[in-house]
Structure 1
Amino acid sequence: MMPLPGPSHQPPPLHSTAKRGRPPAPISPDAGPSHCAWLEPVRNALFTSGLTLDDLVVRSGYSKTRISQLLRGNDYYPSWEITFSVTRALGLPTRPLRRLWAAAAREADKADDWIKNCIDRVVHDGEEPPLPYQAFTDDVRGVYTDYARAFLLTDQRARWVVSQAFDILWVCWNTATASENLHRYAWRLLRSCVIARASRHQDGRPDLRAAVFSTRGIRDPDVPGHLVFFTELIDLLDAITRLPEDQMDVAVLQHLCGAPHHVIARILGLAPALTRAVDHHARAALEAILTTPTPE
């Protein structure tokens, strides 16, 4: 099994004031979404650390070629041993990265035995999450899950994507807390994870129309006029995805998730007055979209 490095081999902490290193070559298009989910923050950590590939060779004990392959996500899906060594050299937390790595390994069709054997070869259980991180994720988890469910339809898929977003947030926690707006940073991360997994229209917009089946009027066919309601609601949901990002998010959180304005403002990291303005513009835009005849 791979031994845990002793104190003399621990990398010094990384600081945001470090000189930026040379950006790695682009990620391979063959890397799947779960692979990119952990690879992108690792690459960003390397870039902001000021370390070079030669530095990582010294710190991790792996060759420059293998580290370069790992950072590009090409040729092969990396074992946990080299992934751990590189990410440990960058001072990144082990537990969330191990979960993200395992999910991407399954997406890459790696067998469960291979995944288990890779993990067992590294003697390191990882650290506990920071208490502020735990408090933050506990606070936003419910609304995040409601938003994810609106696009992904099932509780299981919604919880999985939210957990993935939280693991990425843990990996990036130092960057997130150093940003001007933690809630804004975390929301954009969550949103990108959800939209990446959502069904899409041919033009690339997320497809919310299936969320119509979670409404009371559709679940209960005895409600008078439910077929008219069904058609009108599909049109509304389709129109919502034509809005700019903030307007769409406010509309989804308000109309599909039932979140009040003050909660929406906090979750999105927007000032309450700005949230009300975004809601006002969203309503006006929806009215215009729904009343404009569709071109033949």
Structure 2
Amino acid sequence: MPLPGPAQPPPLHSTAKRGRPPAPISPNAGPSHRAWLEPVRSAQFASGLTLDDLVVRSGYSKTRISELLRGNGYYPPWEITFSVTHALGLPTRPLRRLWAIAAREAGKGDDWIKHIEQVAHPGEEPPLPYQAFTEDVRGVYTDYARAFLLTDPRAQWVVCEALDILWVRWNQATTSENLHRYAWRLLRARVMARAPRHRDGHPDLRAAVFSTREAHDHSAAPGYLVVLTELIDLFDAITRLPDDHMDVAVLQYLCDTPHHTIAHILGIAPALTHAVDHHARATVEALLTTPTPE
């Protein structure tokens, strides 16, 4: 199939009329597949380009493009993925990484994935404002992800995934009311998609107890099991707070993030961090003073 050249004009987002949203994503699409497919679908809807428009711009049939946008059927080869995303004016480099990760999730072998090299398009350099933004938030993002995912490799992997999605969505993110808020919700969604959970759906932070300073400091003390029980109860209570409150509590008590940094990274008012601190302290006091049923 013919591939569009790099000089192809991007869609006119500002003047195009939005069309009908595509059909829902197939339930068979895994979380890594959805990581790149959802922003591609959003870009297609926002651009106003129809399937017929994408047929002309990409050189692929309407049926194949429709299957790609729904995550239906076989996992799409890079050639058609690149053709459609390039026609939508989306950056190639982060999409290449996201596509390759999802291909492994779909059970594709390295030889199949290496066909990505047949498309001679090196990808764009990230925008300088995006680079500055990611340098600013990466450390705190990784600390937060580690609290739920426990290991550095898993945390760093999810943060890289989230920041690649942010790059794909950069135009949308920078026109939102609050860039930091937009990016944080994106990062949070990727962490929660892979965090362990209780049966009732709440995140499970119990394993994070063993990485805390309190657990290490009291490991040889007579009341070690009591300390662990109190910490486990506390972490369970934190995960049942409203999302903003939980995030502030995790960043403050598990990640030792200062109040002003929390407000900056989350894109919230500094006063909210103090309110959550008060709420969390009250929760700790209640847990420590309430008798344990025999």
Partner residue in 1 for 2:77: 79
Letter in 2 for 1:5: G
Partner residue in 2 for 1:67: 65
1:20 and 2:33 correspond: no
1:168 and 2:173 correspond: no
Partner residue in 2 for 1:145: 142
- How far apart, CA to CA, are the structure 2 residues paired with 1:156 and 1:6? 35
Contact 2:251 2:262 in 1 (8 A): yes
- RMSD of aligned residue pairs (Cα, Å): 2.1
Contact 1:248 1:282 in 2 (8 A): no
1:191 and 2:188 correspond: yes
Contact 1:34 1:107 in 2 (8 A): yes
- How far apart, CA to CA, are the structure 2 residues paired with 1:293 and 1:134? 51
Residues 4-15 of structure 1: pairs in structure 2 closer than 5 A: 5=5, 7=7, 10-15=8-13
Partner residue in 2 for 1:237: 235
1:104 and 2:102 correspond: yes
Sort the Cα spacing of 1:16 and 1:252 in 2 relative to 1 into closer, same or farther, 3 A. Answer: farther
Q: Structure 1: which 5+ runs fail to align?
A: none
Letter in 1 for 2:261: V
Letter in 2 for 1:225: G
Partner residue in 2 for 1:114: 112
Sort the Cα spacing of 1:141 and 1:224 in 2 relative to 1 into closer, same or farther, 3 A. Answer: farther
Partner residue in 1 for 2:206: 209
Partner residue in 2 for 1:31: 29
Percent of pairs identical after alignment?
Answer: 80
Q: Calculate the TM-score normalised by the size of structure 2.
A: 0.94
- How far apart, CA to CA, are the structure 1 residues paired with 2:75 and 2:123? 22
- How far apart, CA to CA, are the structure 2 residues paired with 1:18 and 1:274? 40
- The DSSP-based 3-state class of the residue aligned with 1:151 is helix
Q: Note the C-alpha offset of 1:21.
A: 1.8
Contact 1:41 1:168 in 2 (8 A): yes
Deviates more, 1:217-226 or 1:158-167: 217-226
- How far apart, CA to CA, are the structure 1 residues paired with 2:54 and 2:283? 51
- The DSSP-based 3-state class of the residue aligned with 2:157 is helix
Letter in 2 for 1:36: R
Partner residue in 2 for 1:181: 178
Q: Calculate the TM-score normalised by the size of structure 1.
A: 0.93
Partner residue in 2 for 1:247: 245
Q: Deviations over 1:211-244 (max 9, x none)?
A: 0110133335224532211111011011111101
Partner residue in 2 for 1:132: 129
- The DSSP-based 3-state class of the residue aligned with 1:68 is helix
Letter in 2 for 1:107: E
Contact 1:56 1:89 in 2 (8 A): yes
Contact 1:2 1:81 in 2 (8 A): no
Sort the Cα spacing of 1:86 and 1:214 in 2 relative to 1 into closer, same or farther, 3 A. Answer: same
- How far apart, CA to CA, are the structure 2 residues paired with 1:166 and 1:16? 25
Contact 1:187 1:267 in 2 (8 A): yes
Q: Note the C-alpha offset of 1:275.
A: 2.7
Sort the Cα spacing of 1:47 and 1:271 in 2 relative to 1 into closer, same or farther, 3 A. Answer: same
